[in-house]
Amino acid sequence: MTRSRRNFLGQALVAAAVFSASPAFAQADGALTAPIGTLGNALLAVMRLGKQTPFPQRYNMLAPAVDQAFDLEDVLRVSVGSYWNGLPAAQQRKLLQAFRSFIIATYVSNFKSYDGQTFLISPTIRTVGADRVISTTLDKPQGDALRMDYVMHETPMGWRVRDILLDGTISRVAVQRSDFASQLSQGDASRLIGSLDQKVSVLSDGSMNA
- Segment 165-186, tens digit of pLDDT: 988 889 999 999 999 998 998 8
Of 7-16, 31-40, 80-89, 151-160, the poorest mean pLDDT is in 7-16
Residue 56 phi, psi (nearest 5): -60, -35
Distance CA 66, CA 196 (A): 17
Pairing state between β 158-166 and 146-155 = antiparallel
Mean pLDDT of 21-50: 78
Instruction: For residue 127, list its beta bridge partners.
Output: 24, 132
Judged against a pLDDT cut of 90, whether residue 31 lies above it is answered with no
Distance CA 106, CA 81 (A): 22
Mean pLDDT of 70-78: 97
Question: DSSP state, 188?
Answer: B
Judged against a pLDDT cut of 70, whether residue 9 lies above it is answered with no
* pLDDT of res. 168: 82
- Segment 85-130, tens digit of pLDDT: 999 999 999 999 999 999 999 999 999 999 999 999 998 899 999 9
* pLDDT of res. 210: 63
Residue pair 58/42 in contact by the 8 Å Cβ criterion: no
Integer CA distances (angstroms), 101 to 28, 67, 178, in order: 30, 11, 19
Query: By three-state DSSP, how is residue 20 classified?
Result: coil
Judged against a pLDDT cut of 60, whether residue 22 lies above it is answered with no
Burial 77-105 (b: 16+ CB within 10 A, else e): bbbbeebbeebeeebbebbbebbbbbbbb
Mean pLDDT of 40-51: 95
Residue type present at position 125: I
Q: Which pTM does this prediction carry?
A: 0.85
Domains of the chain (ranges, CATH numbers): 3-196 (3.10.450.710)
* pLDDT of res. 5: 46
